[in-house]
Amino acid sequence: MISLHTFNLIVIGWIIAGLITFPLTLSITAPYGRHTKKGWGPLINNRIAWILMEAPVLMIFALLFLLGPNPKSITTWIFFALFMIHYVHRVFIFPLRIRTKGKKMPVSVMLMAVCFNLINGFLIGYWFGFLSHAYPLSWLSDPRFIIGVLVFIAGMVINIHSDQVLLDLRKGGRTGYSIPYGGFFRYISCPNFFGEILEWSGYALLTWCLPTLSFLVWTIINLVPRALDHHRWYNNSFPDYPTGRKAILPYIL
């Protein structure tokens, strides 16, 4: 079993690794979706890649949480439920709804995502299953928990709604890309990423621990550069792209 001290060092190391990686993710455009390009090795069906790269986090988190010796409380079951709701949607619902027929993703990108997801799923699951201090029932009335849950839910609603707007752009067999409107698209190009970051900010707040903070840091490191790339791409591709829109943070970035 990993000691609390070693575990904390691993998580801090993982956060530092993320911060070191950030300039790299800012300078290299992740080559999937609209940014797919040759030179990243063999390709795999887009839908299958999504399932394969997101499933590990769900499995490893659930296994460690459920099999770990830590006593479960109503509070930790709520942590478990919120995490699982997000990932059941991400693994079993989102990939089946995307309209990317014939599209492929580099296997290398998928494998990087698998590693990223395994590490995050391991750290969060191991924390709750093996190491975390007891989260008592009184934690449910702590402002960090209450605000965190509200932020998490708001983020999930924005994320799912925004992904839905994007998927609807290809209704009726349409392919290619068009300008999304409505909801938070009024303010930013990538409200789905904004919602995802809100979700994990809420989760870090409501669980108040290092592993969920490290997951938030890595989510920001992944999604802010992708949002900047998408925003640049929209502006270059559509002369009539709404000028007031920012990339990921309304009015700011």
Residue type, 68: G
Q: How far is the CB of 76 from ligand NDP (least distance, A)?
A: 22
Stretch touching ligand NDP by CB under 6 A, among 8-16, 58-66, 219-227, 245-253: 219-227
Q: Of 6-35, which residues contact ligand NDP (CB under 6 A)?
A: 33-34
If the CB atoms of residues 33 and 250 are measured against ligand NDP, the closer one turns out to be 33
If the CB atoms of residues 36 and 73 are measured against ligand NDP, the closer one turns out to be 36
Residue 141: C-alpha distances to residues 17, 205, 210, 224, 245 (Å):
34, 13, 21, 32, 38
- Our CA angle for 125, 131, 136, nearest 5°, is 95
Pick the binder of ligand NDP from 76, 132, 159, 214 (CB under 6 A): 159
Q: Is 245 in the site for ligand NDP (CB under 6 A)?
A: no
If the CB atoms of residues 140 and 166 are measured against ligand NDP, the closer one turns out to be 166
Q: 211 is written with which tokens?
A: 């592993």
**Contacts made by residues 15-24, CB under 8 angstroms, sequence distance 24+:** 15/210, 15/213, 15/214, 15/217, 18/214, 18/217, 18/218, 18/221, 19/217, 19/221, 21/221, 22/221, 22/225
Q: Is 104 in the site for ligand NDP (CB under 6 A)?
A: no
d(CA 167, CA 129): 36
Pick the binder of ligand NDP from 163, 207, 210, 225 (CB under 6 A): 163
Q: Is 178 in the site for ligand NDP (CB under 6 A)?
A: yes
Pick the binder of ligand NDP from 76, 100, 207, 214 (CB under 6 A): 100
Q: Is 222 in the site for ligand NDP (CB under 6 A)?
A: yes
If the CB atoms of residues 10 and 30 are measured against ligand NDP, the closer one turns out to be 30
Sign of the C-alpha dihedral, residues 65, 68, 73, 75? negative
HSE value, Cβ hemisphere, 13 Å, CA-based, for 149: 13
Neighbours of 88 (CB within 10 A): 12
Q: How far is the CB of 228 from ligand NDP (least distance, A)?
A: 13
Give the residue at shortest CB distance from ligand NDP.
33
Cross-strand bridge partners of residue 106: 43
Beta-strand ranges (E) seen in 73-217 are: 104-106
Judged by the rule CB under 6 A, the positions of this chain that interact with ligand NDP are 33-34, 98, 100, 103, 159, 163, 166-167, 169-170, 177-178, 180, 192-193, 196, 219, 222-223, 226
